[in-house]
């Protein structure tokens, strides 16, 4: 899967996802740190990448409608330490059908996963 990690996620997560066989890119790696969300989002979409973030600015379903993008995972943990973020995302990518999340709007907490698909 082609993935772009937002700057609010640990860089080590990118290394681990790449080691698991994913084509992983980061906001920092493209010198997009500190850029407006729209610019970061457009870079992910132009590259055909599934975007992973914890930024609530990406939580608007009207703006990020399922089926109108390459996929979005919003990680919302009560205590988002680096370790907890890495563990949760790695667990998702090893236990869930993340390939099926292409074009979806996904919110993951410690215990739940909500997947919004296009209404087709």
Number of structural domains in the chain = 1
Distance in angstroms (rounded) separating the CA atoms of residues 100 and 90: 16
Average pLDDT over residues 71-77: 98
pLDDT for 119 equals 80
Cα(67)–Cα(110) distance, integer angstroms: 25
Q: Tens of pLDDT along 43-72?
A: 999 999 999 999 999 999 999 999 999 999
Cβ-count burial 20-56 (b if 16+ within 10 Å, e if not): eebebbbbeeeebeeeeeeebbebbeeeebbbbbbee
Best CA proximity match to 102, nearest among 115, 86, 92, 120: 115
- The structure's pTM equals 0.96
Query: Which contiguous run of DSSP H or E holds residue 19?
Result: helix 11-19
> What are the tens digits of pLDDT across the range 4-43?
999 999 989 999 999 999 999 999 999 999 999 999 999 9
């Amino acid at each position: 899967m082609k993935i772009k990690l937002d700057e609010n996620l640990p860089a080590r997560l990118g290394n681990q996802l790449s080691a698991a066989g994913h084509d992983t890119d980061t906001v920092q790696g493209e010198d997009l740190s500190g850029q407006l969300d729209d610019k970061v989002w457009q870079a992910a979409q132009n590259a055909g990448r599934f975007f992973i973030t914890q930024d609530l600015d990406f939580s608007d379903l009207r703006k990020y409608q399922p089926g109108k993008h390459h996929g979005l995972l919003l990680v919302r943990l009560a205590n988002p330490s680096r370790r907890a973020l890495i563990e949760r995302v790695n667990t998702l990518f090893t236990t869930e059908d993340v390939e099926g999340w292409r074009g979806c709007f996904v919110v993951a907490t410690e215990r739940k996963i909500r997947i919004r698909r296009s209404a087709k």
